[in-house]
C-alpha cells in the first residue's frame, strides 16, 4: 500500500511527520493472512484494568516452520523496489531511505524485517468453534461452559479476515446485537442462536467505481 506521506508507524506525534514532510512516498508492506498462529494473550494480573500482554511471536518465534511469512514480506520489498525503479527511469528521482539500497541480500532483508515488523490487528484468540477444535465461543458468541458471558470483538474469528478487519467486526457486532435481542425476547439465551428470526433485508449502496490506470 502506497502512502503519499512520511509514515514510519504509530507513535506519539507520528502525524507531525505527515504534515511536515510533503515529498515522501511510503510503502506499507502488509502480510495480512499469516501462516503463523502462535501468538499469545496473557493476563498480567487479576486486575481487569491492567493491559494484557500480547505477543505475536512473529516468524521463527511462531509456528510458521516453513518461513512463508518472512519470505512473503521480503518478496514484497523486492516488488516495491521494482516499482520505484520504474518511477526513477521516468525521471522522478526517488531515494530509498529504509531499509536502504545496501540492504539487498535475502539475509540482510530478513534481518531488517525481523527487527522492524509490527502489527496492531491482534485477533483470533477467542475463536468461534467447537471445543474439540480449540474454539472458545459458540455461534451465539457465548463462551463455552459459561452463562451470561459473550465476546464480540476481533478475537472471535478463527482466522484473521483481511487487511483491515474493522468492517468484519462491524458485521459481527450487528449479528451479536441481533442474537442478544432475540435471546432477550425469547428468554432462553442458551438456544438463541438456533431460534433467531431472519435478519430484515437492508439496502446496500454501492458507490460508483472509477479505476485509473497509471500514467
**Active-site residue, selected from the candidate residues 21, 120, 121, 144:** 121
Cell of 94: 526517488
Pick the closest to residue 146 from 190, 187, 184, 183 (CA basis).
Answer: 190
Residue 121: active-site member: yes
Instruction: Give the active site residues.
Output: 121
Amino acid at each position: 500500500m502506497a502512502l503519499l506521506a512520511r509514515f514510519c508507524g504509530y507513535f506519539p506525534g507520528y502525524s507531525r511527520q505527515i504534515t511536515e514532510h510533503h515529498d515522501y512516498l511510503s510503502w506499507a508492506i502488509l502480510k495480512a493472512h499469516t501462516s503463523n498462529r502462535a501468538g499469545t494473550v496473557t493476563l498480567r494480573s487479576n486486575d481487569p484494568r491492567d493491559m494484557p500482554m500480547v505477543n505475536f511471536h512473529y516468524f521463527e518465534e511462531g509456528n510458521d516452520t516453513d518461513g512463508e511469512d518472512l519470505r512473503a514480506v521480503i518478496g514484497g520489498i523486492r516488488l516495491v523496489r521494482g516499482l520505484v525503479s520504474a518511477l526513477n527511469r521516468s525521471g522522478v528521482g526517488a531515494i530509498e531511505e529504509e531499509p536502504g539500497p545496501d540492504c539487498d541480500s535475502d539475509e540482510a532483508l530478513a534481518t531488517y524485517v525481523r527487527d522492524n515488523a509490527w502489527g496492531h490487528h491482534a485477533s483470533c484468540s477467542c475463536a468461534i468453534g467447537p471445543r474439540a477444535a480449540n474454539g472458545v465461543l459458540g455461534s451465539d458468541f457465548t463462551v463455552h461452559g459459561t452463562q451470561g458471558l459473550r465476546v464480540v470483538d476481533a478475537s472471535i474469528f478463527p482466522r484473521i479476515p483481511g487487511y483491515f478487519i474493522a468492517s468484519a467486526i462491524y458485521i459481527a457486532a450487528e449479528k451479536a446485537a441481533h442474537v442478544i435481542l432475540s435471546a432477550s425476547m425469547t428468554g432462553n439465551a442458551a438456544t438463541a442462536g438456533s431460534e433467531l428470526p431472519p435478519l430484515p433485508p437492508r439496502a446496500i449502496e454501492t458507490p460508483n467505481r472509477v479505476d485509473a490506470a497509471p500514467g
